[in-house]
Amino acid sequence: MKSVPTETVAGDALAQEFVKFAVEAGVLRFGEFKTKAARLSPYFFDAGLFNDGAKLGRLAQFYARRLQACGIEFDVVFGPAYKGITLASALAVELARLGQNVGYCYNRKEPKDHGEGGSLVGAELSGQVLIIDDVLSAGTSVRESVGLIESAGGKPCGVIVALDRQEKTIGGGAEASRSAAQFIEQEMCLNVSAIARLHDLLHYLQSNADPMLSAHYARVAGYRESYGV
């Protein structure tokens, strides 16, 4: 398995292009939002708003371009329910269009007790399995996905997300000083890649000529000062 860089460089062209797209699509919004960790965040990324064919197709292109840049090798894409279902299928279609045909699989929240049964749908989880998700915050979804993949006989080989919030995890001890990406890489030995990270968003806001957007820089930077790594 090829190694994947853990950081994109501030000002990375692909990341900047993606942040611009997410803002213009209304997926990346600014204001005051309560996170699952009960933190008040000045920004929110809602991948559910990639809600038409054009936006979803372009999102899949960004995932594919980041994966190509990383050079990671995998056999199956796994998307955890619910948002990961759409992401895994869209990415598989885009990769096939580019000449890389891989399987995709997702899980049900409630196991099915009729028909084919079980909690997994799609390709068999065998070989190298890439986990795809929208946002990386606490890493809970990734940990659950790893358990499902290993139970099915597959080998998790990496994680790709649209946005890494680069926040400290909740809890005590040494883990609290690391982000979810750092924990996953160091403790679970999985490569983590992201189309964009919080520092890319900060670069976008800081360098933006639109005063309506650049005005959000101070609050987002302050949030990272409090909760970021």
Q: What is the pLDDT along the chain (229 residues), one digit of tens a residue?
A: 333 334 444 459 999 999 999 999 999 999 999 988 888 999 999 999 999 999 999 999 999 999 999 889 999 999 999 899 999 999 999 999 999 999 999 998 776 555 455 789 999 999 999 999 999 988 888 999 999 999 999 999 999 999 999 998 765 555 567 888 998 999 899 999 999 999 999 999 999 999 999 999 999 999 999 998 8
| Predicted pLDDT at 170 | 63
Of 112, 155, 168, 216, the active-site residue reads: 112
Distance CA 34, CA 20 (A): 23
- Tokens (6 digits) for 189: 């030995």
| Predicted pLDDT at 175 | 55
Distance CA 229, CA 224 (A): 7
Residue 211's identity, in one-letter code, is: P
Q: Domains of the chain, with CATH numbers?
A: 13-227 (3.40.50.2020)
Check if 203 is active-site. Answer: no
Q: Please state, in angstroms and as integers, the Cα–Cα distance from residue 179 to each residue in 34, 62, 72, following that order.
A: 18, 23, 22
| Predicted pLDDT at 118 | 73
Of 36, 83, 109, 114, the active-site residue reads: 114
Across 12-154, the runs of DSSP E, i.e. the strands, are 28-34, 40-45, 76-79, 103-112, 118-122, 128-136
| Predicted pLDDT at 139 | 80
Check if 114 is active-site. Answer: yes
Q: Which residue has the tokens 């499902």?
A: 148
Evaluate the CA torsion angle 192, 224, 46, 27 in order and state its sign: negative
Q: Are 191 and 3 in contact (CB under 8 A)?
A: yes
- Tokens (6 digits) for 31: 């204001």
Partners of residue 77 on adjacent β-strands: 104, 130
